[in-house]
């Protein structure tokens, strides 16, 4: 009887648990291989990973090494900022002061002093990155701080115990524990496959500190990020899609009960700082001014679970706006816990029954198109934030290509919101879903085959090499 190949599947962060363990993403792999899961002790809820009869090993994440590597990533971002406009945008955001100078009065002296101190700190950090990321200093910095990285004893022990044929790990391309996994795999001669978790991961953070042998990416767009930004050969990158949306493709062909007893437009919030409260006020006014068209229609506001802006609609009078109940308490209380993971089973009902969608730039615009919904992107300058959506669209690599999807429209100015809302409403029943699927495949690949099957076949092909 042929022995099953041994696969070590690393889980380095809680954000990967939802996508890979609350779905059937690993079903085929677990059936066809002997899989051991190597799990970080930083997970806030490892139960979905450890359930059943799985083989599970834990490793300790060192906070000091994590902090050191996150500082290295900043240097890498600066050194290779020419490779991605988003790297440069990220640097600008890091160095943007958060405290504004106020008119000089006796009661503002301390506040202005704090603003001055903040700017001195920014100037120091910027100079430090310029020096460490310079052509002259960076080679020495790499030898001292990157080339000397070593995997933790726990990771080394896990490899010794399992003796895997292949290392597989979901990755955001920006994680210290993943670097240590790669180092140990290289030391032991084990090939490695990283499953890039989101569409912006290869273009928005930095170049990879340690390089897995093979990458699996969302689509043709992210394959380009792997080759053009991360300098991979195309032969070492596979377009695989993501397990996150598999259930959506199945659910969209079923009758899903609406979560509300009235028609609604779905406002999808962005994680970046953007004046969504003002946007909601503007749309609320548009709807109130045309009661015939919008009679009985509500605007359901779904703030991003990890929204950077701290303002809420708690004290704002909005006649036509209600909060998505899944996130209402979190929004109104200002909760910021990043370990929160929304239940994916809520999304299909919410998206499928919306008349159309709108909001800031977010991966949920892709989810909206899966359900054949138009998305009105609020890509105007809010006049307040470095991350206003006009700038985000202009400077983010991964949003280049969204314009290929004909059901996505862009509000370049705030005055565009009303006519584009009218157009979306009037065209909501005439969406050519097959055309949208073809257009979206550039960003998110889907061939009708389940993700778990595609992943198992990729692992099998890598084991044959």
Decide if pLDDT at 1 tops 80: no
Please check whether residues 284 and 205 belong to one and the same domain.
no
Query: Is there a single domain that holds both residue 281 and residue 234?
Result: no
* Mean pLDDT along residues 130-150: 96
45 and 131 housed in the same domain:
no
338 in a structural domain: yes
Q: How far is CA 400 from CA 86, 171, 230, 269, 403, in A?
A: 11, 22, 17, 19, 7
Nearest one of 382, 367, 342, 351 to 446, comparing CA atoms: 367
Q: What is the 3-state secondary structure (H, E, C) of the chain?
A: CCCCCEEEEEECCCHHHHHHHCCCCCHHHHHHCEEEEEEECCCCCCHHHHCCCCEEEEECCCHHHHHHHHHHHHHHHHHCHHHCHHHHHHHHHHCCCCCCCCCCCHHHHHHHHHHHHHHHHHHHHHHHHHHHCCCCCHHHHHHHHHCCCCCCHHHHHHHHHHCCCEEEEEECCCCHHHHHHHHHHHHHCCCEEEEECCCCHHHHCCCCCCCCCEEEECCHHHHHHHHHCCCCCHHHEEECCCHHHHHHHHHCCCCCCCCCCCCEEEEECCCCCCCHHHHHHHHHHHHHHCCCCCCCCEEEEECCCCCCCCCCCCCCCCCCEEECCCCHHHHHHCCCCCCCCCCCCHHHHHHHCCCCEEECCCCHHHHHHHCCCCEEECCCCCCCCCCCHHHHHHHCHHHCCHHHCCCEEECCCHHHHHHHHHHHHHCCCCCCHHHHHHHHCCCCCCCCCCHHHHHHHHHHHHHHC
pLDDT for residue 186 is more than 70: yes
> Has residue 264 been placed in a domain?
yes
Can you give the residue range of the structural domain that contains 350?
Answer: 249-440
Structure-token pair, residue 38: 């190597």
Q: How many CB atoms lie within 10 A of CB 180?
A: 25
Tokens of 346: 């809520």
Note whether 203 and 25 are within 8 A (CB): no
Residue-level pLDDT at 340: 67
Contact yes or no for 248/254 (Cβ under 8 A): no
Helix axes 63-79, 85-94, angle to 10 degrees: 120
Residue 378 counted as domain residue: yes
Same domain, 27 and 175: yes
Q: Can you tell me the mean pLDDT for 241-252?
A: 91
Domain boundary among 146, 180, 196: 146
Q: What is the pLDDT of residues 316-364, one digit of tens each?
A: 889 999 988 888 777 767 676 656 667 778 889 999 999 999 999 999 9
Is 202 within the bounds of a domain? yes
Domain identity same for 315 and 418: yes
Can you tell me the distance from the alpha carbon of 24 to that of 344, in angstroms, rounded to the nearest whole number?
13
Q: Are 290 and 320 in contact (CB under 8 A)?
A: no
In angstroms, the CA 344 to CA 418 distance is: 31
Dig out the tokens for 286 from the structure.
């548009």
| pLDDT band (50, 70, 90) for residue 310 | confident
* Domain finish residue from 131, 146, 161: 146
User: pLDDT higher for 53 or 336?
Assistant: 53
How far is Cα of residue 285 from the mean position of the Cα atoms in its chain? 32
For residue 198, pLDDT over 90 is answered with yes
Same-domain check for residues 33 and 121: no
Query: Sheet of 375-377: strands edge to edge?
Result: 321-323, 298-302, 264-268, 357-359, 375-377, 408-410
CATH number for 23: 3.40.50.2000
Q: Is 1 a member of any domain?
A: no
- The answer to whether residues 51 and 92 belong to one domain is no
| Contact between 146 and 180 (Cβ < 8 Å) | no
Query: What's the rounded mean pLDDT across residues 150-168?
Result: 97
Same domain? 232 vs 285 = no
79 CB neighbour count, 10 Å cutoff: 22
Using the structure block, give the residue that is written with the tokens 């994916």.
344
Number of domains the chain contains: 3
Q: How many angstroms separate the CA atoms of 278 and 381, rounded?
A: 12
> Region 293-307: what's the mean pLDDT?
91
With CA atoms as reference, report the closest residue to 145 among 43, 86, 221, 67.
Answer: 67
Whether 71 and 34 share a structural domain: no
pLDDT mean over 104-119: 88
Among 97, 126, 146, which residue terminates a domain?
146
Confidence of residue 164 (pLDDT cuts 50, 70, 90): very high
Could you tell me if 334 and 423 lie in one domain? Answer: yes
Per-residue pLDDT, 339: 61
Q: Which two tokens stand for residue 133?
A: 């990321």
Average pLDDT over residues 186-198: 97
Task: Pick the range with the lowest mean pLDDT from 33-37, 301-305, 420-424.
Answer: 301-305
Nearest CA-CA partner of 402 in 231, 199, 208: 199
Q: Specify the pLDDT at position 247.
A: 87
Do 196 and 308 lie in a common domain?
no
Are residues 189 and 113 located together in one domain of the fold?
Answer: no
Query: How far is Cα 245 from Cα 341, in angstroms, rounded to an integer?
Result: 15
């Amino acid at each position: 009887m042929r022995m099953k190949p041994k696969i070590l599947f690393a889980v380095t962060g809680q954000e990967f648990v939802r996508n890979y363990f609350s779905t059937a993403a690993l079903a085929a792999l677990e059936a066809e291989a002997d899989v051991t899961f190597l799990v970080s002790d930083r997970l806030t809820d490892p139960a979905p990973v450890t359930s059943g009869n799985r083989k599970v090993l834990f490793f300790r994440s060192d906070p000091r090494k994590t902090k050191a590597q996150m500082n290295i990533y900043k240097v890498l971002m600066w050194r290779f900022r020419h490779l991605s406009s988003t790297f440069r945008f990220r640097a600008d955001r890091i160095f943007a002061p958060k405290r504004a100078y106020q008119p000089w009065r006796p009661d503002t002296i301390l506040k202005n002093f704090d603003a001055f101190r903040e700017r001195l700190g920014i100037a120091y950090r910027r100079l430090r990155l310029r020096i460490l990321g310079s052509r002259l200093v960076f080679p020495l910095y790499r030898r001292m701080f990157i080339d000397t990285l070593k995997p933790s004893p726990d990771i080394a022990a896990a490899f010794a115990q399992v003796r895997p044929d292949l290392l597989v790990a979901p990755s955001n391309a920006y994680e210290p524990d993943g670097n240590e996994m790669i180092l140990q795999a290289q030391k032991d001669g084990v090939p490695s496959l990283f499953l890039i978790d989101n569409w912006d991961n290869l273009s928005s953070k930095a170049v990879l500190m340690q390089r897995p042998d093979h990458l699996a990416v969302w689509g043709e767009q992210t394959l380009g990020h792997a080759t053009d930004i991360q300098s991979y050969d195309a032969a070492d990158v596979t377009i695989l899609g993501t397990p996150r949306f598999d259930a959506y493709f199945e659910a969209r062909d079923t009758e899903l009960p609406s979560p509300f007893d009235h028609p609604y437009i779905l406002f999808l919030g962005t994680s970046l700082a953007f004046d969504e409260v003002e946007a909601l006020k503007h749309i609320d006014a548009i709807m109130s001014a045309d009661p015939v068209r919008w009679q009985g229609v509500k605007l359901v506001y779904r703030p991003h679970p990890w929204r950077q802006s701290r303002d809420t609609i708690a004290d704002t009078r909005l006649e036509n706006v209600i909060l998505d109940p899944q996130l209402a308490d979190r929004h109104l209380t200002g909760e910021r816990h990043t370990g929160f993971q929304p239940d994916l089973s809520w999304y299909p009902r919410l998206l499928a029954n919306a008349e159309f969608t709108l909001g800031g730039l977010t991966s949920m615009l892709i989810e909206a198109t899966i359900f054949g919904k138009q998305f009105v992107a609020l890509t105007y300058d809010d006049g307040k934030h470095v991350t206003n959506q006009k700038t985000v669209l202009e400077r983010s690599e991964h949003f280049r290509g969204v314009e290929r999807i004909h059901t996505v429209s862009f509000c370049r100015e705030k005055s565009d919101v009303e006519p584009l809302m009218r157009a979306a409403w009037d065209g909501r029943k005439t969406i050519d879903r097959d055309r949208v699927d073809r257009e979206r495949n550039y960003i998110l690949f889907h061939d009708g085959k389940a993700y778990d099957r595609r992943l198992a076949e990729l692992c099998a092909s890598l084991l044959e090499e």
